[in-house]
Structure 1
Amino acid sequence: MKKKKDENTEVQILEAAKTIFQSKGMDGARMQEIADEAGINKAMLHYYFRNKQLLFEAVFKNAFLLLAPQLSAVLNDNSSIEVKVRNFTSNYISFILVHPYIPSFIIQELNRNPDFILKLKDNPNFPNLEKFKKQVEEEVQQGLIKPISAEQLFINIMALNVFPFVAKPLLKAITATNDEQYQKLVEARTTEVADFIINSIKTI
């Protein structure tokens, strides 16, 4: 029973920290605010996480490792590049609509502390482009897609999928849409983005 209570408290702390870090960033967050959000005292918070940096790293790791398997699953399956692009776009956008805080949170904090990502590279779910690179090279050689490096193609896919989430306030203002209208625009991108990328690389 004690172990279950401890696990529940840790989850409670991580959820509270996610809320505070998301709104204030690492530098602006205070441990007392996180304790208050979690409904515990500061001493209890320090019992679980000795300092703010360790707590932040736990929240960041959880956020990144929610996203990483989504990327790895598509990159490492045996489908064609066209199917990969469609699956990646559909899976990514559907996933982020459920976890909208993740892209902005990860990008904001990677800019603040770019070396932190090195701590995650040994995780088995960390995205690996090797299979994707071989597939792109093969399909280029077979004349199925136009000459393009796998790295450039992957960056194009990521950029077109991530930007609408990290730039939501800006794009809502420019497109003059409310939350409901903007969500419909983003949902439509599950096919719009894939069609755009595929049409740009297909030879026929």
Structure 2
Amino acid sequence: MTTEEKIFNAARIVFQKKGFAGARMQEIADEAGINKAMLHYCFKSKELLFKAIFMNAFGQLAPQINAIFYSPDTVFDKIKKFTHSYISFVILNPYLPQFVIQEMNNNPEFVMAFLNYENRPNPAILIAQIEKEIANGIIKPVNPKQLLVDIFSMTVFPFAAQVMLKGMIQISDSEFNQMMEERKTSIAEQIINSIKK
């Protein structure tokens, strides 16, 4: 395992336990089994390290999402596969949604950088397919972009607001995780039932 891989693995563990704000570079160095000077040599700051981890993770997710968008599947099957893939990804990287929201407010240049990532998910083909399935009477007349916002919102929000949700509906971490597993299929079912003709 390379030094960078050790750092990435250690940082994921610390970020997951402490969140971005609570994580310390010394903890990450200790977890990686290296000294802090080596960590700072590789990554000058916690922000740069997190951005590297994010882009690495995003680079793994984007091809999965594009494979779904460009597949010959129906819109309904694509919705099922998207909710399953995205929620599975965030369960493995639970700190990412909060970090992205924080960066959207504090550092919009970073958000634009990953939105300009050359292999970023491109929903244009899915939007065109939704319009075609509406014309063919398979889907109710809906605004395709509104539909995508609904899907993204229902998958992203619970993770971005999990502290508030856990407190508001009085659930434990294990109950929250179980609910997220269930949402892999329940979100798709709700969306499909609402647009099926």
- Please give the TM-score of this superposition, normalised by the length of structure 1: 0.80
Q: Distance in 2 between matches of 1:105 and 1:178?
A: 22
Task: Please report how far the alpha carbon of residue 141 of structure 1 lies from its aligned counterpart in structure 2 after TM superposition.
Answer: 1.4
Kept after mapping to 2: 8 A contact 1:89/1:161: yes
Residue segments in structure 1 that go unaligned for 5+ positions in a row: 1-6
Q: Is the 8 A contact 1:63 1:102 kept in 2?
A: no
With normalisation by structure 2, the TM-score equals: 0.83
2:95 maps to 101
| Cα distance change on mapping 1:71 and 1:180 into 2, 3 Å | same
Per-residue displacement from partner, 1:96-149 (whole Å, max 9, x unpaired)? 223323322333333321221332345343010110111011111112212222
**2:10–2:31 CA contact under 8 A, matched in 1:** yes
Residues 1:81 and 2:75 aligned together = yes
Alpha-carbon distance change, 14 to 174 in structure 1, aligned in 2, over 3 angstroms: same
Instruction: Tell me what 1:72 maps to.
Output: 66
User: 1:191 & 1:45 partners in 2: Cα distance?
Assistant: 41
Q: 1:113 aligns with which of 90, 107, 112?
A: 107
- Structure 2 partner of 1:49: 43
Residue matched to 2:32:
38
Q: CA deviation at 1:198?
A: 0.9
Equivalenced residue count is 196
In structure 1, the partner of 2:134 is 140
Q: In 2, distance between residues paired with 1:107 and 1:85?
A: 24
Given the superposition, is the C-alpha separation of residues 150 and 54 from structure 1 closer, same or farther in structure 2, using an over 3 Å criterion?
same
Deviation, structure 1 residue 162: 1.3
CA distance in 1, matches of 2:88, 2:195: 24
Structure of higher CA gyration radius: 1
Give aligned-pair identity as a percent.
Answer: 46
Change beyond 3 A, Cα 1:178–1:102: same
Q: Are 2:192 and 1:186 equivalent residues in the alignment?
A: no
**Corresponding residue for residue 159 of structure 2:** 165
CA–CA distance in 2 between the matches of 1:105 and 1:202?
35
Amino acid in structure 1 at the alignment position of 2:90: I
Amino acid of the structure 2 residue aligned with 1:162: V
Distance in structure 1 (CA, Å) of the matches to 2:105 and 2:6 = 27
Alignment RMSD (CA, Å): 2.5
Structure 2, gaps ≥5 residues long: none
CA distance in 2, matches of 1:66, 1:104: 19
